[in-house]
Amino acid sequence: MANGITVMVEMFAGLALILILALSMAMFGCGQDDKAQAITPVSMSTETIEPETTPTIVIEPVVDQPIVEIEEPQPVSFEVAESAYNDRNYAEAVRLFAVYTEENEGNAWGHYMYGLAAKKSGDLYLAELSFNRALELDPNHVKSILNLSRVLIDDGRPQEALDQLDRALDLDPQSSVAFRLQGRAMHNLGWFDEALTAYREAIVIDTADAWSINNLALVHLEQEQYEEALTALSRTIELRDDIALFFNNLGIALENTGHVRQAQEAYTTAIELDAAYDKASVNLARVERVDQATDVIPADFEDLAKVFIEEIRSWNEEALAAEDADLSEFDQVVESESESDSTKSFELYEF
């Protein structure tokens, strides 16, 4: 019995030893070189771990950039710049006169033309600067004064324009343009009587000044003096039959004196001369719907123009009479002074 138990114990001991060896092999495993290898722990997470990547650096090839050379402005002659102005290429004229005046800073005429080109291109600020610069170089440059006054009128500064025009008339008392611009400035200020006087002065000096006659008529139209406007405008279109504005104004005078069909013809002529003349188109559309009275006698533009010419003669006579009165008064002053003090009369005469 005891021997049987001993045998069983030994059996169990052997089995236990075999089991221990088997477990050891399972835990540590055997490699080809009989060295034990550690078991790599296995993560239980389901997240996939991406391997770290090194950013790729792309080196762009160096391309030689072309070197842009800025050309020096080429010298510009006055004739070339003036030619652009005469061709009505005002933007180009501004560019050319900018170069010209930089090269010829002391040339007043160059700055004057620069101002004209700037005004025509719509740059009143540059025009004013240019005319002022011309006058700094030549204070007696009447054309610069006149065109500076135009800029001031267009810029809504008629009072400043009048100051300049007084200066122009001191230098050239017979400038019809100065009186015409004076009339414009006064008209803009609402001084209608003074404007009419200024326009008459301009017309007496230059009886063919169609623009002064038109401007005079415009004051009459605004004052609802349509008969006076009609006589003036009849003379205007006799002098210049190529200005759309003149025919539009004539149409207004005709329409308001009952000459509806002739007004229609005048508006039509204005549109034929300037297809983009919107005011004339509006006026034409209105007058086409108006009936004319049957007893209206057509206006005779030739006869009306003659009436206006006679008016000019009367203004001229009035002006001469006023001058004679001034001279007569001056002669009396000189005579009285000469009787008492010959030295004073000489000073007055020199003055």
Name every residue whose Cβ is closer than 8 Å to that of residue 301 and which is 6 or more positions away in sequence: 234, 237, 238
More confident residue, 7 or 224: 224
Domain assignment present for residue 231? The answer is: yes
Average pLDDT on 237-246 reads 97
| Two tokens, residue 321 | 């009479």
- The answer to whether residue 1 scores a pLDDT higher than 60 is no
pLDDT of residue 342: 33
- The answer to whether residue 250 scores a pLDDT higher than 60 is yes
pLDDT of residue 31: 45
pLDDT of residue 350: 30
- The answer to whether residue 253 scores a pLDDT higher than 60 is yes
Domain assignment present for residue 261? The answer is: yes
- The answer to whether residue 190 scores a pLDDT higher than 60 is yes
Domain assignment present for residue 127? The answer is: no
pLDDT of residue 205: 96
pLDDT of residue 225: 97
pLDDT of residue 287: 95
Centre a 10 Å sphere on the Cβ of residue 154 and count the other Cβ atoms it contains: 16
Average pLDDT on 252-273 reads 97
Domain assignment present for residue 43? The answer is: no
Centre a 10 Å sphere on the Cβ of residue 245 and count the other Cβ atoms it contains: 18
Give percent above pLDDT 70 in the chain.
71
DSSP character string of 141-189: -HHHHHHHHHHHHHTT-HHHHHHHHHHHHHH-TT-HHHHHHHHHHHHHT
Beta strands in 212-251 (DSSP E): none
- The answer to whether residue 180 scores a pLDDT higher than 90 is yes
Per-residue pLDDT tens digits for 295-314? 899 999 999 999 999 999 99
Instruction: Report the candidate in 323, 315, 322 with the shortest Cα–Cα distance to residue 206.
Output: 315
CA distances from 134 to 48, 167, 177, 195, 234 (A): 84, 15, 19, 28, 39
Name every residue whose Cβ is closer than 8 Å to that of residue 113 and which is 6 or more positions away in sequence: 78, 81, 82, 85, 93, 97
- The answer to whether residue 333 scores a pLDDT higher than 80 is no
Classify residue 188 as exposed, middle or buried by CB count within 10 Å of its CB (0-12, 13-18, 19+): middle
pLDDT of residue 140: 96
pLDDT of residue 312: 95
Average pLDDT on 323-337 reads 54
Give the side-chain half-sphere CA count within 13 A for 188: 19
Beta strands in the chain (DSSP E): none
Domain range enclosing 241 = 224-324
Domain assignment present for residue 158? The answer is: no
Instruction: Report the candidate in 280, 224, 296, 287 with the shortest Cα–Cα distance to residue 248.
Output: 280
Classify residue 204 as exposed, middle or buried by CB count within 10 Å of its CB (0-12, 13-18, 19+): buried
Contact between 131 and 115 under an 8 Å Cβ cutoff? The reply is yes
Q: Assign 64 to helix, strand or coil.
A: coil
pLDDT of residue 39: 43
Q: Is this prediction's pTM over 0.85?
A: no
Domain assignment present for residue 314? The answer is: yes
In this prediction, residue 341 has a pLDDT band, given cuts at 50, 70 and 90, of very low
Centre a 10 Å sphere on the Cβ of residue 142 and count the other Cβ atoms it contains: 18
- The answer to whether residue 165 scores a pLDDT higher than 90 is yes
Question: Does the CA dihedral 19-25-26-32 come out positive or negative?
Answer: negative
Per-residue pLDDT tens digits for 27-54? 544 444 444 444 444 444 444 555 555 5
CA distances from 180 to 42, 87, 120, 207, 242 (A): 106, 26, 19, 12, 20
pLDDT of residue 36: 41
**Considering its fold, how many domains does the chain have in total?**
1
CATH number at residue 239: 1.25.40.10
Centre a 10 Å sphere on the Cβ of residue 194 and count the other Cβ atoms it contains: 16
- Match 């080196």 to its residue by tokens: 59
Average pLDDT on 190-208 reads 97
Among 52-61, 188-197, 269-278, 338-347, where is mean pLDDT lowest? 338-347
Domain assignment present for residue 317? The answer is: yes
| Two tokens, residue 283 | 């006026």
Question: Does the CA dihedral 94-96-98-101 come out positive or negative?
Answer: negative
- The answer to whether residue 232 scores a pLDDT higher than 80 is yes
Domain assignment present for residue 284? The answer is: yes
Instruction: Report the candidate in 224, 148, 158, 152 with the shortest Cα–Cα distance to residue 189.
Output: 158
pLDDT of residue 319: 77
Per-residue pLDDT tens digits for 112-155? 999 999 999 999 999 999 999 999 999 999 999 999 999 999 99
